[in-house]
Amino acid sequence: MSVKTDHRHLYLQVIDRIKKDIEQGVYKEKEKLPSEFELAKQLGVSRATLREALRVLEEENVIIRRHGVGTFVSSRPMFTSGIEQLSSVTEMIRQAGRKPGTIFLSSSIQKPTEDDIKRFQCHKEEDLLVVERVRTANNEPVVYCIDKVPCKYLPKGIAYENESLLEILHDEANRYIAYAITHIEPLGYHEKVSPVLQCEPETALLVLKQMHFDENDEPILYSIDYFKSDKFSFHVLRKRV
């Protein structure tokens, strides 16, 4: 029995439980789940709660429901980990089974540009911390990162040289990044970035320009990440509307 009492809403726990069961093969692809009545009894929740969870799972394309027939595991249960899931570069490298590292290039306090003022909805005289780093995987440079964050969100004198900025913001500043609006651009050659990443002439870069927000929709962090295209692969599930 777990120590941590789960204060999260029931339907969320049900979602996680079902997802876990699918991932662990309790229910296999295309397989029929128990009936709602049965499943609700098994999980110890009401049918209404279970149905809210199933509705979300259906929307996420994890299951398929057919009126009068049953509920089935989707044939391609997408826990995607596609680009629509936001994770730090550190997490991405770690998830690829490699050792993340950081080469610290520069850090300075700057006044916001016109675009920054719009992005952060901040004052003209607001101070921004601008950090430039190269992220490495197994000591090989793979991403060039520029991060901008208003100083007011950061505690004084922290060491931002060694860790994921998202983690720092969470641990030190108690700011949890909940989502980001990301623009995706290709880049053939960048006279500053490409040499640093040791790019062959034919190796293009994928640029993600990301505005990060916290749970209260406050703009916290703006980042520009240059990914070496032969080291990262991005995919996304696109749904027709």
Q: Does 210 bind its own copies (CB under 8 A)?
A: yes
Shortest separation between residue 77's beta carbon and its own copies, angstroms: 11
Q: Among its own copies, DNA, none, what does residue 188 contact (CB within 5–8 Å per kind)?
A: its own copies
Contact 19, 27 (CB under 8 A): no
Contact 137, 100 (CB under 8 A): yes
Give how far Cα 77 sits from Cα of 23, 46, 155, 218, Å. Answer: 9, 25, 42, 33
Q: Choose the stretch contacting its own copies; rule: CB under 8 A; options: 67-75, 110-118, 143-151, 153-161.
A: 67-75
Q: Among its own copies, DNA, none, what does residue 104 contact (CB within 5–8 Å per kind)?
A: none
Give how far Cα 148 sits from Cα of 77, 112, 127, 139, 236, Å. Answer: 36, 9, 10, 24, 26
Shortest separation between residue 23's beta carbon and DNA, angstroms: 20
Q: Does 115 bind its own copies (CB under 8 A)?
A: no
Of residues 1, 3, 5, 67, which one binds DNA by CB under 7 A? 67
Residues 22-51, interacting with DNA (CB under 7 A): 33, 35-38, 44-49, 51
Between 70 and 110, name the residue whose CB sits nearer to its own copies. 70
Residue 176 tokens, joined: 């949890």
Q: Which residues contact 114 (CB under 8 A, 6 or more apart)?
A: none
CA distance 103 to 184: 24
CA distance 202 to 57: 42
Between 101 and 119, name the residue whose CB sits nearer to its own copies. 119
Q: Per residue in 55-82, is it b (16+ CB within 10 Å) or e — as a string?
A: ebbeebbbbbeeeeeebbbbeebeeeee
Q: Does 177 bind its own copies (CB under 8 A)?
A: yes
Q: Does 183 bind DNA (CB under 7 A)?
A: no
Q: Tell me the per-residue interface mask from 2 to 21 with DNA, x by CB under 7 A, - otherwise.
A: -----x-xxx----------
Binding site for DNA (CB under 7 A): 7, 9-11, 33, 35-38, 44-49, 51-52, 54, 65-71
